[in-house]
Structure 1
Amino acid sequence: MRNSILLLFAALFAASVRAQSIDIIPRPQALTEGKGTFRFSAKTAIVADPELRRPAELFAADIQPVVGYRISIAEKGTVSLSVDNTLEAEEYSLAVTPKNIRILGGSPRAVFYALQTLRQLVAPDGTVPAVIVRDKPCFAHRGGMLDSGRHYFSVEEVKRFIDMLAMHKLNVFHWHLSEDQGWRIEIRRYPRLTEVGSIRKQTVIGRYDKSDESRNRYDGTPYGGFYTQADIREIVAYAAERYIEVIPEIDMPGHMLGALASYPQLGCRGEGYEVWTHWGISKDVLCAGKEATFEFVENVLAEVLELFPSKLIHVGGDECPKERWKECPACQKRIREEGLKNENELQSYFMHRVEKWLHQHGRELIGWDEIMQGGISQSAVIMAWTDQVRGTDAARNGNRVIMTPKWNCYLDYAQTSEPEKLEPIGPTRYLSMRQVYRLDPYDRLKPKEYENILGIQGNVWTEYIADFEHLQKMALPRMAAIAEVAWAYDRKDYDDFEIRAKRLLPTLYKNAGFKFARFFFLNIE
């Protein structure tokens, strides 16, 4: 049945040519332009299988600001949505004729992606160009990370970030929830984590000068915020409706001052901890020599697992200085008793224990590439951020890898080559749209090693991003380049992408109510 329908549409478009005027991001696998247009009106209705009703409702809500009316969901209509089990889980076909629109997807998720494509094609007058699109993604993991540790974003703002991911067909929300500057997740067994650990007494103004503290200025205003467990359940459910998996990150054993200020017995020194008021890497980390530390970690993760159904649980593992461990009798005792060579192997011991516990509870460990220090099991998933070489090494070792090298994927980096003149204060490293697009997740790998690359991810760290409007302008439009590499790696063409992006994205973002940076559209680099 499906083949006959596609043959019928192919016949209708026999005289068509490759579309040059239809802009879609990410670039679809196949696109054929037809003749004429379909027109939405207030009388248009969508016919959807029961399991597709929610995607249809979300689409109707998305295009209402564009066309000025709400499309209804009914038993009869000219727009039809169906699941076709002969297609792959994320594969879809979208066929538009002047008379109707037909969407087939291998799953409800695939139908949702087709509707995101259709959303890009709907003009303000309700017209949609006649077209056939057949599409599926290249990578399984297509992610975006939000750091809520340095700066807190409200529940509604987090949902809007999820909306940004969804419209780009990204399917993973990596949520960074604990930091030296604030603990952001309610853990009922440890109430001081939010009573104490979520609040810093003030925040540094501008860049922090670690060489001379006297030069730094602070705003003198307490800063805090955290997500209740009810908030988190609401956000996870919101993401699930948009076919986005939420992977939580509880960073350990470093970046833990929020926890140490709340429960100082968990540190090597056992006292003198405060939630940091500036940025950087603290020498104070969880004590790996105390059993109480592992009891704390397991109890925290037990509540995390109740809130997040994701198979992967991110435990950070990055930027963990070893000075305190070298000075700590308990850590040195642990090294001797476990037959470890050094503090790097102590970190490996820490990660192996946490991974074993996660496996016992049906989950898997994912961490930043520093978890490879001292050795890591092949079952751990590596998120390569320091450079792509570490990801390549991990893939060759047999680990599954998500490529997110800072030189391509850190969306808080400057968008122009002269940021101090043109942009708000922030990192001075320059990450152009072209450089994001240049990422090749398979670089220097052999074809047999490709299967170890799960995908890619764009990250938004928020040391210098204190409000949601600024966050949007850092993520957009560069998130579109992340999306195209993740979805359409096998058909990348930057010159073509730039043309489509400049024609499509300003209107798309404006219709969705998103703020975005204009440097790329004004050819300012």
Structure 2
Amino acid sequence: VNRFHWHLTDDQGWRIEIDSYPGLTEVGSMRDETIIGRNSGEYDGTPHGGYYTKDELREVVEYAKERYITIIPEVDLPGHMLAALAAYPELGCTGGPYHVIGEWGVFDDILCAGKEETFDFLEAVLTEVMEIFPSELIHIGGDEAPKTRWEECPLCQSRIKELGLTEKDGHTAEHYLQSYVTSRIEEFLNEHGRNIIGWDEILEGELAPNATVMSWRGMEGGIQAARMGHDVIMTPTTYSYFDYYQAQNIDEEPFGIGGYLPLEQVYSFEPAPDILSEGEKRHILGAQANLWTEYIKEPEHVEYMILPRLAAMSEVQWMDADKKDYEEFLERLPRLISHYNKLDYNYATHVFDVHGVYTPNFDSNALEVEFTTIDDADIYYTLDGSDPTESSIKYEGVFTINQDSEVRAVAIRDGVKSKLLNEMVNVNKATYKPIELLTTPARNYEYAGAGMLVDGLSGKSTNYRTGRWIGYQGEDLVAVIDMLEPTETSSMEIRNAVVTGDWIFDASEIIIESSDDGNSYSTVASEKIIDKNNDHWADISTHKISFEPVTSRYYKVSVKCSRMPSWHPGSGRRAYIFVDEIKLN
């Protein structure tokens, strides 16, 4: 771990002193207020700002150099530039007015690719960046750059016509216009002995000749780039985003962006997958852990989010895949943690808690429960919701549950209890019955697949990345449950996690059908759902449908996704839907 990637510019603030464009820090470094929580619509009313002077940056560079760490600066372009546009509105397609935004997200206003002034600006900024940072690699972002303004901008369209850019291979002319911007900046940096890194969006269109790709939206972009002969840094959200929660019970965690990335998942990461040839694997430079700090204000919170996950990522980096062993890692970890204690680091302690694994068994129609701890400490548990003590049931091995239960477990070391593990198991007629998905979940949100919908376990919050919610991107969820024998039902319950700021909406319609043979289905009931909200909201939306009793062996359930409303940035597009459990009674 000897590279520090420093993200220095974004829509919410410009953080690096640039002499040739003083307005970047005079105007662009300060926002009037900041949104409270996750795009709640409420703001704190407090101005926020600041930037690093060149002397301060050089001091950090020297400090890193003394410790054999190279700092890779990032100036994100052409998107995430609202702070720069607020200072220099002439660099945008519309001319503004723009302001330093006080909320998080992706915004339509980006640098105008049709103006030569834009390239004068970027070259001047990057020249000063190179004067501060000796790194051979300069990160130029390239992510999350909507093409809305370019599609409407006469100057951008004139540039597209001048360059002869057209739609092809599934990419628009505007995608190729971004490729032009990237290649032009790459050529400038190459002339100064530097090379570029870009987020995997730079693959959309034509990849700049010497670019290194940083793959964050999964590993597919990195795999594609490696096969094209380009160097790659793997940093997929599912393994590398350390701003994600480390525990499913987020009520006991510092407030964060969401997600779920436990220590074991970090350790399981293999940045050079076997799908690549040995020659292609050589293009994988390594992995990167990302810590975005929208919701992180104190150094102690930073430490809490990165430790001990950084230790796991370190072994991902320096150990061969066939030599990694998570159990051995856990045996070594306490020795490392003793150093954290000596240095007074505020590390996360989840690794010492009871870890529960819940596996539905469709043969025995029950839930298998397994508990583990890092050090094989004694574990005690209850199934009635009472707090466990040393007088409770001592865990001796995997056990099964087939009825409503509230599982509580603790590890007890020398009379001291770990944090409480708490899990609700709710059994209905569909629980632990065979289930088949007829539609395909979103790649990153499939998790354990169909069985999640009948495992008796529900999502505890709208955090849709915990593995409790199965997600679909613009597609309907359609599932068939085999009750194994004709079974009478008269109600169904479906829950949707809704986080409209992340383009996740409530279902638009829910349909239940029944069949005796699994081939011919009749509609039992349906419910259309109208979302009357006119602003962002986040909650668990519960839908219970009652109907006249029906007796059938097979039940087909369809949960239809919504189209995003006119007030939403994704207006007209099909939204994500997330479902945790299908309950039939």
TM-score (norm 1): 0.65
| Structure 1 residues 54-69: aligned runs within 5 Å | none
| Deviation for aligned residue 1:524 | 5.6
Q: Does 2:329 correspond to 1:504? A: no
| Deviation for aligned residue 1:508 | 1.3
Q: Does 2:271 correspond to 1:422? A: no
Q: Does 2:289 correspond to 1:289? A: no
Amino acid at match of 1:428: G
Identity among equivalent pairs (%): 53
Counterparts of 2:352 and 2:126 in 1: how far apart (Å)?
44
| Deviation for aligned residue 1:509 | 1.2
What's 2:94 paired with? 269
Find the residue that maps to 2:139 and give its secondary structure: strand
After TM superposition, where is structure 1 displaced by more than 4 Å over at least 4 residues in a row? none
Contact 1:378 1:397 in 2 (8 A): no
What's 2:465 paired with? none
| Deviation for aligned residue 1:180 | 0.4
Match of 2:51 among 201, 226, 231: 226
Contact 1:193 1:262 in 2 (8 A): yes
Higher Cα radius of gyration = 2
Find the residue that maps to 2:126 and give its secondary structure: helix
Match of 2:80 among 251, 255, 259: 255
Amino acid at match of 1:268: C
Q: Does 2:262 correspond to 1:432? A: yes
Counterparts of 1:513 and 1:292 in 2: how far apart (Å)?
50
Contact 2:179 2:208 in 1 (8 A): no
Match of 1:367 among 181, 190, 198: 198
| Deviation for aligned residue 1:259 | 0.4
Larger RCO, structure (CA 8 Å, separation 6 or more): 1
Match of 1:520 among 351, 364, 367: 351
What's 2:125 paired with? 300
Counterparts of 1:375 and 1:434 in 2: how far apart (Å)?
37
Counterparts of 1:195 and 1:283 in 2: how far apart (Å)?
23
| Deviation for aligned residue 1:403 | 0.6
Counterparts of 1:474 and 1:192 in 2: how far apart (Å)?
34
1:167-210 deviation digits (Å, cap 9, x = unpaired): xxx1001000001000000001111101110101111111104x
Match of 2:134 among 295, 304, 309: 309
Contact 1:411 1:475 in 2 (8 A): yes
Amino acid at match of 1:429: G
Counterparts of 1:188 and 1:377 in 2: how far apart (Å)?
29
Match of 1:442 among 267, 272, 278: 272
| Deviation for aligned residue 1:447 | 1.2
Counterparts of 1:513 and 1:337 in 2: how far apart (Å)?
60
Determine which structure has the larger strand proportion and give its number: 2
What's 1:198 paired with? 29
Find the residue that maps to 1:332 and give its secondary structure: helix
Amino acid at match of 1:499: E
1:443-487 deviation digits (Å, cap 9, x = unpaired): 111112111111111000111112221111111111111111001
Counterparts of 1:432 and 1:301 in 2: how far apart (Å)?
37
Amino acid at match of 1:425: F
Counterparts of 1:200 and 1:273 in 2: how far apart (Å)?
12
Contact 2:183 2:209 in 1 (8 A): no
What's 1:28 paired with? none
Contact 2:182 2:208 in 1 (8 A): no
Match of 1:403 among 209, 234, 237: 234
Counterparts of 1:359 and 1:279 in 2: how far apart (Å)?
33
Counterparts of 1:523 and 1:237 in 2: how far apart (Å)?
43
Match of 2:148 among 323, 333, 342: 323
| Deviation for aligned residue 1:322 | 0.5
What's 2:326 paired with? 494
Counterparts of 1:271 and 1:280 in 2: how far apart (Å)?
19
Q: CA RMSD in A?
A: 1.1
| Deviation for aligned residue 1:511 | 1.7
| Deviation for aligned residue 1:424 | 2.0
Counterparts of 1:524 and 1:277 in 2: how far apart (Å)?
38
Farther-moved stretch of structure 1 (178-187 vs 491-500): 491-500
Find the residue that maps to 1:218 and give its secondary structure: coil
Contact 1:378 1:398 in 2 (8 A): no
What's 1:455 paired with? 286
Q: Does 2:180 correspond to 1:180? A: no
Counterparts of 1:513 and 1:245 in 2: how far apart (Å)?
26
Find the residue that maps to 1:343 and give its secondary structure: helix
Match of 1:238 among 52, 63, 86: 63
Amino acid at match of 1:191: P
| Deviation for aligned residue 1:498 | 1.5
| Structure 1 residues 72-87: aligned runs within 5 Å | none
What's 2:419 paired with? none
Determine which structure has the larger helix proportion and give its number: 1
Alignment: residue pair count: 348
TM-score (norm 2): 0.59
Contact 1:173 1:247 in 2 (8 A): yes
| Deviation for aligned residue 1:377 | 2.8
